[in-house]
Structure 1
């Protein structure tokens, strides 16, 4: 019996789940959803009483001061997102050189590459808060959730990590991240929630808007 060669091609976290296009109510899009890809991502956990030391190493290497509260900090091509006491997500615009960088940080912290383990979505549009209000059990009013704020919560029983970026032409901009294994469940909720407003879906690499 002849052997069959199998080729494993890389697949993005949204592959087979979401695709560019338009769905829902006709007319101007009330929601703009951008499926983000190509970024590098790692968890960074400081040992007990070593958070300051870890932050100094990251600052010396990348210029980022790791947030001590639920915030996101960005310098150049890198983000540091608070993920709990003495824990952060380190995101890079691309994966180039990420492995070597993580090796440097692993000398003083617990580091795990999560680049293929998360699905990331950027949401904007005039009805973005209306959609999120259907599932996010947080007050996302500008007075309560400012630019740069981040939170870990759940949407339709799916654990998510979300943060607010600087406002765009259509108002507030959010990014929301779920584990890859739950991307389908999250998208099912999102598609049902966004349909009444009309949703334009696109795909793009992580871009770095300036942050105030």
Structure 2
């Protein structure tokens, strides 16, 4: 191929720039009712996210390596376990999500589990929000079918459900300065639809939006 043809071919290839799952969907600031925000939403960026599915009769071997490498026990009920910036979130029988605060060393983590589970890197395919505030449960109750009262959904609980016909994976993190903290994960393609529902639900309480890096 001639130099001219090579240059022409290169010029026709589109340039791809990494983009946040929340880009063009939400903006930082205060919205809704005036006064102190009753709800805080933090868009999570740069998380490492991978699905793990244990083969039949292979859960014990996976559990051993996870314990040795991460110091975590695989949750066998709808729970999440967290240590040193890594979380394992129950996603169904024999299934979990590995979530890390950033992607440094994430490829090595997945390589260490290779052959022990079916692994799919979901880092760019999911959108995650951390939701908190004194009115967060009331806002979520407008569409979430899960009872989020502390007696029914304590710290560490996880669930798969749907909100506004959108599949949602959620879990409760440690409490923050304003009380309960929830992590909400949706497919990237549904981020706009989820935000449309949530922002409308939170508007009457006033809400603030932030972007948080891993």
Using the size of structure 1 for normalisation, the TM-score is: 0.93
Aligned to 2:194: 186
Which structure is larger by alpha-carbon Rg, 1 or 2? 2
Greater mean alpha carbon deviation, residues 167-176 or residues 76-85:
167-176
Q: Specify the SS of the correspondent of 2:44.
A: strand
Matches within 5 A, 1:132-147: 132-147=140-155
| 1:114 pairs with one of 108, 122, 126 | 122
Aligned to 1:174: 182
Aligned to 2:92: 84
Q: Deviations over 1:23-53 (max 9, x none)?
A: 1001100101000111101001100121121
Aligned to 1:98: 106
Greater mean alpha carbon deviation, residues 76-85 or residues 4-13:
4-13
Matches within 5 A, 1:36-115: 36-115=44-123
1:24 and 1:66 map into 2 onto residues whose CA distance is 40
Aligned to 1:9: 17
Alignment gaps of 5+ in structure 2: 1-7
Q: Specify whether residues 55 and 27 from structure 1 end up closer, same or farther in structure 2 by C-alpha distance, changes over 3 A only.
A: same
- Runs of 4 or more, structure 1, over 2 Å off, are 2-7
Aligned to 1:209: none
Q: Deviations over 1:92-137 (max 9, x none)?
A: 1111221122122121110110000000000111100001101110
2:80 and 2:132 map into 1 onto residues whose CA distance is 18
1:161 and 1:5 map into 2 onto residues whose CA distance is 36
Q: Deviations over 1:129-185 (max 9, x none)?
A: 001101110111111101100000001000001111122221111110000010010
Residue 150 (structure 1) aligned with residue 155 (structure 2)? no
Deviation of residue 8 (structure 1)? 1.5
Deviation of residue 5 (structure 1)? 6.5
2:151 and 2:14 map into 1 onto residues whose CA distance is 54
Q: Count residues with an aligned counterpart.
A: 205
Q: CA RMSD in A?
A: 1.2
Q: Specify the SS of the correspondent of 1:111.
A: strand
1:133 and 1:52 map into 2 onto residues whose CA distance is 38
1:203 and 1:52 map into 2 onto residues whose CA distance is 38
